[in-house]
Amino acid sequence: MTTYEEFIQQNEDRDGVRFTWNVWPSSRIDATRLVVPLGCLYQPLKERPDLPPIQYDPVPCTRNTCRAILNPLCQVDYRAKLWVCNFCLQRNPFPPQYVAISEQHQPAELMPMLSTIEYIITRAQCLPPVFLLVVDTCIDDEELGALKDSLQMSLSLLPPNALIGLITFGKMVQVHELGCEGCSKSYVFRGTKNLTAKQIQDMLGIGKFSAPQQQQPRGPGGQPLPPANRFLQPVNICDMNLTDLLGELQRDPWPVAQGKRSLRSTGVALSIAVGLLECTYPNTGARIMLFVGGPASQGPGQVVNDDLREPIRSHHDIHKDNAKYMKKAIKHYDALAIRAAVNGHAIDIYSCALDQTGLLEMKQCCNSTGGHMVMGDSFNSSLFKQTFQRVFARDQKGDLKMAFNGTLEVKTSRELKVSGAIGSCVSLNVKGPCVADTEIGMGSTCQWKFCTFNPNTTCALFFEVVNQHSAPIPQGGRGCIQMITQYQHSSGQRRIRVTTVARNWADASVNLHQIGAGFDQEAAAVLMARMVVYRAEIDDGPDVLRWVDRMLIRLCQKFGEYAKDDSNSFHLPDNFTLYPQFMYHLRRSQFLQVFNNSPDETSFYRHMLMREDLTQSLIMIQPILYSYNFNGPPEPVLLDTSSIQADRILLLDTFFQILIFHGETIAQWRALHYQDLPAHENFRQLLQAPVDDAQDILQTRFPMPRYIDTEQGGSQARFLLSKVNPSQTHNNMYAYGGAMPVPSAESGAPVLTDDVSLQVFMEHLRKLAVSSTA
Amino acid sequence: MNPQYLPQQPQQQYGASAGQRFGPPPNAFPPMPHGGARPSPSGTPGGFQLSSGPPAPMGMHPVGLPGPQRMGPSVQGPQPFNSDLPPPSGPVSLGPGMSGAPTSGSHHPGFSGLNMMNGPAGPPSGPPGGPGSQPPPHTMPQQAPVMVPPPTSTPNQLATQLSGMNLSGQAPPPPSIQNSNYPVGPPTKPGLASVPPGAPGANYYHSPGSFPPAINGGPPPPTSSPGQPLQPPGQQQHGAPSRYMNGSMGPPPASGRGPMVGPPQPHMPTQHGIIPPQPGNMSAAHAHMPPPTGMPPSVGGMPQSGAMPPQHGGSSFQPFMQPGPPTGKLYHPSPDMYQPNAGAPPQMQQPSMGVQGPTPNYPPLHQPVGPQQTAHQGMQSQPARRLNPNDMPSPIQVMQDDQSNRSGVFCTNQKGLVPPLVTTNFITQDQGNASPRYIRSSMYNVPATIDIMKQAALPFGIIVSPLARTVGEEYVLPIVNMGEIGPVRCNRCKAYMCPYMQFIDGGRRFHCLFCKATTEVPAEYFQHLDHTGQRVDRFERPELILGSYEFVATKDYCRDNTFPKPPALIFLIDVSYNNIKNGMVRLLCSQMKEILKLLPKDEGAEKSNMRVGFITYNNTVHFYNVKGCLAQPQMMVVGDVQDMFMPLLEGFLCDPMESETVIDSLMEQIPAMFADTRETETILAPAIQAGLEALKASECAGKLLVFHSSLPIAEAPGKLSNRDDRKILGTEKEKAVLTPQVNVYNNLGQECVSAGCSVDLFVFNNSYFDLATIGQVSRLSGGEIYKYTYFQADLDGERLITDIKHDVIRPVAFDAVMRVRTSTGVRATDFYGHFFMSNTKDMELASIDCDKALAIEIKHDDKLTDEDGVYIQVALLYTSCGGQRRIRIINLSLKTCTEMADLYRNCELDTLINFFSKQAVFQLLESSPKAVKENLIKRCAQILATYRKYCSSPSSAGQLILPECMKLLPLYMNNILKSDAISGGSDMTIDDRSFIMQAVTIMDIPSSVVFFYPRLVPLHEIDVDSTELPTAIRCTSEKIRDDGVYLLENGIHMFLWIGLNAGMEWVQNVFGVLSAAQVNIERTSLPELDNPLSVRIRSVIDSIRQQRHRCMRLTLVRQRDKLEMVFKHFLIEDRGLDGSASYVDFLCHMHKEIRNLLS
């Protein structure tokens, strides 16, 4: 272990953990003075192809309040067959089956390299996942046709034993019964009426409330089939039937008058889906996959009325408190999200429409349950088609890359407590000895529910050092954190993944540099981004921005080296240098700036930030820009106006968009079709290179980014221009000796914006950081 | 026939019959009557109307005796009825009872009771208790005899007659007798002998009681030897008779009374009827028959004659009168007549009468008879005897007469022209007034003053069947299309252009006869007038020349000002366990294809424009998408029964041709899908709501055919609790179960109406389903109810399918509004039928079809002027089954009158009865049954009393005189009172009761006529080669022979009664078994055997069924089987099993009441 960078990388690879601080201050007071809170990004399902699953149960600490799991950090007395819990110090005997252990013969969970380990609980019942399709039929025939194709295709991607069901909605909501011969059958609900779970179940004739049926149909195995089997059937059984059913889906037949929107009952449809699963498969992995082609325009969850003269709410309306349906709708969807989450059911929203569809209101359905939120323009776009296909991606073993109904539990050693989590999960409100008083994100609990998650899913966890300054920790002491994730594997197995990590303590008053050296600016940037976005969801813009600024300044003050009031003397340690830049881009990002974004887009962007891993999150915060030219291999270049050159092709990856930008000259050449001439083979190759690279990114990214091919002066170029640091603008392009408005070969292209450039931002930062009055 | 009948009939028949069989009896008769008369006189003094009247004259009769006797007998009679045997003994005593005192006592009670219907209970008790009162009844009978002039005579003229009750002689007034004679003739004869009396009477009573013997007795009578009959009837009877004979008077009373009490009464009367003598008078009346002399004289009825005659002459008269004296002379002749006629019956009665009377006058004949009679029937019969039922006005006769006199073409060219009876075959020629098939009035001469109206107590009611079918060559209503301007209407009252509008001012304006306002003629409609002041184009314009026609409506007459879409038909099928198990669902689905071929279409249209939809339900509602382009039907379940809605739009309603394959496949699927259902809790209101929403969503009117199984107890709106407590039926508390328990269905019905959605309920119940509540939705939406209790597809399937087909195919109007406009001075005030009214003028009918009629009462606002007349215009705005909005106009003009006589001469009894029945059913739900019945009786008495007072001669009060055109009023009134709809008691279920009540509410006149006087057709002597329906006979057990086979139907039920001695050959041919005892009475149809008789019998049944709009289930009843009770319940002239009054009883009671009113 040479550098912190390597250490961090190694830890991430092994445990999927990135801490903001890799050396922990030993007292509460010191911890708070670090500005950036102690926390980590944790990927509970980080892909570990090398990790052998253990086919037996974990050994828990016998102390009831602890129940931590035996791990490599525990002290073991091989002779007495005892182990000491490293969280509560309880001495535990090994269970009988461990009688043969010795220093040479250790169980897997004691091996240091297996600080992350996965158990398969073999005695647990194996349940296939459930997929409930909820399909909007208020879309035009072309869209509906494309959607039907995608859905029919998806049937082949599901595990054969997975259960599937279908709900369609328009003015009414229909729950389709599967497996009917000769006459298709569906249960219809009014789209304007909010029904309780019990009512829904009564009307469907299912659920615990309905009287036990005397003659329950029996499955092949003689097992009684659940009453809901009419609505949810294994894919391999109802395959044909469902294909036909989907094939016959018609556009919602209710007439839509001129100047009106279709009446769309998204809220009720979702409510019925939740109710259906709630009583039939509680606490079982399930996904409700909602496909919407427009905003809910009636009933509970309505976000707009059916009069086209009234546009859907904008940020402006919200700001002015002029969005009359929003609060009620949010309340409706939030309640649904909680109900679904409590039962371990996830809600995906696939929203494809040119206008907004109410993702703002529905966002908690995805955010709380870990479901996907996908936003596209059309079901007929490759963006949707490929994204949807990618939902069913499989790993090397052929299992779907998705886990269900997971619970993440955090255990801490005594000096620490957990103060919260930010991610696509909900609090389970489980109090425990390691729950901190202070809250960051979803706190006051040591357990969170992840209804569905995949290898990329990343949760931000925050910790509080509770050790008092007066009780120093002995030299060499280490703080431990254990993350226990129980979940339903897509194969149906019940699994538990345990990650146990430890870090050294350091006394900040003495060894601040040590702590500073352990700073992980990338993790810190992402963590701060999550915190600020989490706040932004509640607070309004300016306050949040000010908070970001203040935190940045305080961090610089704390760790920068400078002479007071001399901004030129300001200097940050190497592992802090990128942090201000991240913050600069974060401030300008769509996460915090709503200008030019619809509320739906904002919700979508924020949703993605809350779940992606560190690398992807960083791309979102500060997009990556590659340059292609004849002078050499592709290289990353500054995200700056200066990178925009006439003879370059730029590839911009903002996570949400992949943009290929042809410089002016290149674009001209291309327009003249030089690439088609054999003599200009190299030009063709140059044009092709970024396209190939973009394809690589497109292949792996979820959701599929918007792919844009543009050129200097093209309208789509705005995506690039809005991201680059405006070092050249109409305000300064004359001032800096730029000879002319024409972007010279070397000076890049100006951007017409009033935003401050990074340079200005940094100047101010320095000034403020060194200011004795700040 | 007719002509002959009138005048000659009586004579001829009588003569013939008499000559042939009854020679003797006839003779006897005459005397009898006299005798009767005598008694009656005596009675009169007693104060008995009947008897008294006549008797008085007679003097001899010392009515007293008769009275008592009657009493006695009556008393006995009743008992016998009830208990049959025991009574016999009673009778005996009765005989004596004649003596009067006792009887009288008994009578009273009995009467009142009887009359009331309560009869049963009343009588028994009565006898003992109120002797005093009783007398009247007795008298009644006696006097009663008088009566209606036989229609036979020239229709009107003779009318008078008396039906001397007891005295059969009189009453028998030709008609009845004739009728009876013909068919029954034989039996009667026997009856004559003594038996007859006994027998006939006995039969009556017995029959109900179940005395087959009685019947047997009947036959014997033929023999004529009284003795025989007597014996047969029953020894007991004999005993009785004997007594009669002897001291018919004194002794009997005492003993007789006790026993006799109630039942006998009727008989009693008859006996008293001895009145026969009166009859004699009556006979005079008969004389009427022999129009020439008879009539006048009769009319003259002596005193009465004065007044009467004119009337008679005018048209119909009738008064009976017993005025002994006068009549005496006149009558004499008649008596003869009678004899023949009465043939058997009269004789019988006579005998009885004779008994009494005989003693004095006619001893010989009577006596013999009397004894016999008494003997036979014992108690009961005797009393009955006295008043010979055959002498009482007979509906059969009336119908036959009308058929003879008025069949052919009926031109409506006169104001206030009384149309032929509904039973008469006639063709209407519309010449300015609408066909009576569309509209009939209870009176065609409307009194000018409120005062007359009040005194006459006759309601001015109209019965409208706006969609009635035309018959034969009658033209289909022409459709007038006025284009953009729409129908021309009076500016003030909005009456539509009709022949009553008078064009003035050179044709530029017209004068409205309804409101007297003057309106400009629209330029487009202008036409010059000819020299007579009439438009020259009037013969080209139906609305100027016809009484009924249609206008094409403009948008202004449409919902939302847009032309309607074609209406739709939605099948709502309950698929819960019951309906699956009984096979209904499978049957219906299998027949759907055929049913859908029958959708109605507009005149001239190639195919029906109507669309159909399907809904099934149990505790949820299932809609089906049957769009033609689908590969298979789609089912959509709505579980939200609290708040029903329409889950789909396109494809629910579809053209049955376009969606044929999908519907076929759906009809295969439905039975399969629910084959294993165990759902027993069903809903109803939400299902109907579903159908309603479906129509609303499609923006069209239509009809729901709901096939429902049971009480809706599932948790949903309209959930009902079981309040089945049939014990309270017939009590003052019955309202509690006959009115809705919740108003959900009322509200739903109103919603339906406002959306133009009508609901026909087909119910397949195995238990109580609370029709009183559920039926509201049909009532308010203009729907109809069909009930198939204990339905089994294999037995009742054909009936169901026939009903459905009939329901679907019949002419129907949707989304209708009907308003009745009248000329000033009168105003439509009360409305009865299946519809909803949101204001006081417009009847809103979601649908109305050819089988439904509405009753509207019109009241005076003011004095009418003599010359104007009364004009009525009924406008029905509706959507045709092809989707065209039209207005059907029905005009009727009536005369005004200032003379009571004119009023009584121009009444339409069938209309009146229809009106009364609807009104009574309506009132039952608001006031107590007792009050309703009393009111009817009172009204009936008032009507007749007023007639007696103003229109007939001042003859003796003891004589019962009936107006010619209402001589059947007492009979029909009694039948209303006895009908299940009004009096249904705990022997029927609450749902049956509600069902009947609803049926009455929508009945048109042809249906109500047969409903209130069931048709009894003898089949054993049917002419195999004829194709006509055999002539019906009077609806009494007296006419039933145990070697006969009879078909009885009232539009709801149909029975085939098989006598145990029915001819072997007949049975073999029709049933394919060797004897009546082997007939399988479980079956509901006759086996199809290949012989002329079988073919003929089946065709009779089929053709009768075709006349009714409900397919009647054929119930086979074998003599003496349990079911016979039910059968006898419908022998309406007899005393009911529940003790309700027989025709005779009631007539006597009426007589008493009238006398009370007059005194």
Among the partner residues A183, A187, A190, nearest to B643 by beta-carbon distance = A190
> Which residues 6+ apart lie within 8 Å of A455 measured at CB?
A43, A45, A46, A47, A401
**Could you tell me if B107 and B66 are in contact, meaning their C-beta atoms sit under 8 angstroms apart?**
no
Distance CA B734, CA B990 (A): 9
In three-state secondary structure terms, B461 is strand
Q: What pLDDT score was predicted for residue A772?
A: 78
Assign A123 a pLDDT band (cuts: 50, 70, 90).
confident
Q: What pLDDT score was predicted for residue B1155?
A: 87
CATH topology of domain A520-620+756-773: Four Helix Bundle (Hemerythrin (Met), subunit A) (1.20.120)
Q: What is the mean pLDDT of chain B?
A: 72
Assign A207 a pLDDT band (cuts: 50, 70, 90).
low
Q: What pLDDT score was predicted for residue B99?
A: 36
Q: Give the mean pLDDT of A290-319.
A: 93
Q: What are phi and psi of B864, to 5 degrees?
A: -100, 155
Q: Which CATH number fits domain A130-205+228-391: 3.40.50.410, 3.30.43.10, 1.10.540.10, 3.40.640.10?
A: 3.40.50.410
Query: How many residues does this entry show for chain A?
Result: 774
Name the residue among A548, A609, A605 with its Cα closest to residue A579.
A548
Distance CA B856, CA B840 (A): 12
Distance CA A212, CA B133 (A): 68
Look up the ipTM and state it.
0.84
For B1014-1131, CATH number? 3.40.20.10
- Interface residues of chain B, partner chain A, Cβ below 8 Å: 620, 623-624, 630-640, 643, 645, 647-651, 665-666, 668-669, 672-673, 676, 678
Distance CA A488, CA A495 (A): 6
**A205 and B620 in contact by Cβ < 8 A?**
yes
Distance CA B196, CA B29 (A): 13
**Could you tell me if A396 and A161 are in contact, meaning their C-beta atoms sit under 8 angstroms apart?**
no
Assign B68 a pLDDT band (cuts: 50, 70, 90).
very low
Assign B272 a pLDDT band (cuts: 50, 70, 90).
very low
**B640 and A184 in contact by Cβ < 8 A?**
no
Compare A754 and B419 and report the one with higher pLDDT. B419
Distance CA A760, CA A751 (A): 15
- Strands across the sheet containing A91-93: A75-77, A82-84, A91-93
Compare B872 and B87 and report the one with higher pLDDT. B872
Q: Show residues of chain B in contact with A172, CB under 8 Å.
A: 645, 647-648
Cα distances (angstroms) measured from residue B804 to each of B616, B762, B1107: 17, 9, 16
B952-989 pLDDT, tens digit per residue, is 776 666 778 888 888 899 999 999 999 988 887 778 88
Q: Show residues of chain B in contact with A177, CB under 8 Å.
A: 637
Return the structure tokens found at B347: 């004789």
Torsion of CA A444, A447, A448, A452, to 10 degrees: 180
**Sequence ranges of the domains in chain B:** 566-809, 908-1012+1145-1158, 1014-1131
> Residues spanned by CATH 2.60.40.1670 within chain A?
4-56+113-123+400-511
For B1095, counting Cβ atoms within 10 Å of its Cβ (0-12 exposed, 13-18 middle, 19+ buried), the class is: middle
**A186 and B636 in contact by Cβ < 8 A?**
yes
The alpha carbons of chain A give a radius of gyration, in whole angstroms, of: 28
Q: Does B7 sit behind a cis peptide bond, omega within 30 degrees of 0 on the bond before it?
A: no
Q: What is the DSSP secondary structure assignment for residue A458, as one 8-state letter?
A: -
A positions 255-314 inside 8 Å of B (CB): 255
B507-531 pLDDT, tens digit per residue, is 999 999 899 899 999 999 999 999 8
> Which residues 6+ apart lie within 8 Å of B796 measured at CB?
B788, B1084, B1113
Distance CA B1136, CA B1148 (A): 16
Q: List for chain B the helix, strand, coil content (%; round to 5).
A: 50, 15, 40
User: Using CA of residue B263, residue B268, residue B269, residue B273, what is the dihedral sign?
Assistant: positive
**B649 and A255 in contact by Cβ < 8 A?**
yes
Q: What pLDDT score was predicted for residue B621?
A: 92
Share of chain A above pLDDT 70, in %: 94
In three-state secondary structure terms, B671 is helix
In three-state secondary structure terms, B247 is helix
**A254 and B649 in contact by Cβ < 8 A?**
yes
Q: Give the mean pLDDT of B205-224.
A: 36
Distance CA B146, CA B164 (A): 4
Share of chain B above pLDDT 70, in %: 66
Q: What is the DSSP secondary structure assignment for residue B465, as one 8-state letter?
A: -
Tell the residue number behind the tokens 């309004």, with chain if given.
A540
Interface with A, mutate which of B576, B626, B634, B661 (most A CBs under 10 A)? B634
**A193 and B643 in contact by Cβ < 8 A?**
yes
Among the partner residues B633, B637, B640, nearest to A193 by beta-carbon distance = B640
Residue type, B545: I
Q: Is the pLDDT of residue B705 over 60?
A: yes
For A623-724, CATH number? 3.40.20.10
Interface with A, mutate which of B635, B666, B669 (most A CBs under 10 A)? B635
In three-state secondary structure terms, B634 is strand
Neighbours of A2 (CB within 10 A): 6
> Residues spanned by CATH 1.20.120.730 within chain A?
520-620+756-773
User: Using CA of residue B560, residue B562, residue B564, residue B565, what is the dihedral sign?
Assistant: negative
Neighbours of A259 (CB within 10 A): 9
A50-78 pLDDT, tens digit per residue, is 888 899 999 999 998 899 999 999 999 99
Q: Give the mean pLDDT of A564-578.
A: 90
Q: Give the mean pLDDT of A728-753.
A: 59
Nearest chain A residue (CA) to B670: A183
Nearest chain A residue (CA) to B651: A253
Q: What pLDDT score was predicted for residue B280?
A: 35
Query: How many residues does this entry show for chain B?
Result: 1159
Q: Show residues of chain B in contact with A174, CB under 8 Å.
A: 636, 647
CATH topology of domain A4-56+113-123+400-511: Immunoglobulin-like (2.60.40)
Return the structure tokens found at B86: 């025991």
For B908-1012+1145-1158, CATH number? 1.20.120.730
Torsion of CA A485, A489, A494, A496, to 10 degrees: -20
Q: What value, to the nearest 5°, has the Cα angle with vertex B451 and ends B446 and B457?
A: 70
Is the CB of residue A487 less than 8 Å away from at least one CB of chain B? no
Interface with B, mutate which of A183, A185, A265 (most B CBs under 10 A)? A183
Q: Show residues of chain A in contact with B676, CB under 8 Å.
A: 215
Cα distances (angstroms) measured from residue B915 to each of A169, B455, B853, B900, B1000: 55, 19, 10, 21, 10
Q: What is the DSSP string of A73-141?
A: TSEEETTTTEEE-TTT--EEEPPGGGTT--SSS--GGG-GGGSEEEEEETTS-----EEEEEEE--S-H
Q: Is the pLDDT of residue A745 over 80?
A: no
Q: What is the DSSP string of B797-832?
A: HHHHHHHHHHHHHS-EEEEEEEEEEE-TTEEEEEEE
Name the minimum distance, in Å, from the CA of A15 to any CA of chain B: 51
Name the residue among B183, B268, B198, B270 with its Cα closest to residue B228.
B198
**A248 and B630 in contact by Cβ < 8 A?**
yes
CATH topology of domain B566-809: Rossmann fold (3.40.50)
How do strand B785-787 and strand B757-763 relate by DSSP bridges?
A: parallel
Identical fold for domains B908-1012+1145-1158 and B1014-1131, yes or no, is no
Distance CA B610, CA B881 (A): 7
Q: Show residues of chain A in contact with B650, CB under 8 Å.
A: 253
Name the minimum distance, in Å, from the CA of A199 to any CA of chain B: 8
**Could you tell me if B10 and B152 are in contact, meaning their C-beta atoms sit under 8 angstroms apart?**
yes
Q: What pLDDT score was predicted for residue A740?
A: 45
Q: What is the mean pLDDT of chain A?
A: 89
For A692, counting Cβ atoms within 10 Å of its Cβ (0-12 exposed, 13-18 middle, 19+ buried), the class is: exposed
**A199 and B672 in contact by Cβ < 8 A?**
no
Share of chain B above pLDDT 90, in %: 44
Q: Give the mean pLDDT of A225-229.
A: 59
Q: What pLDDT score was predicted for residue A754?
A: 79
Q: What is the DSSP secondary structure assignment for residue B848, as one 8-state letter?
A: E
Using a cut of 0.80, tell me whether the model's pTM lies above it.
Answer: no
**B640 and A248 in contact by Cβ < 8 A?**
no
A133-176 pLDDT, tens digit per residue, is 999 999 999 999 999 999 999 999 999 999 999 999 999 999 99
Nearest chain A residue (CA) to B620: A203
Interface with B, mutate which of A178, A188, A198 (most B CBs under 10 A)? A188
Assign B57 a pLDDT band (cuts: 50, 70, 90).
very low
User: Using CA of residue A753, residue A759, residue A761, residue A764, what is the dihedral sign?
Assistant: negative
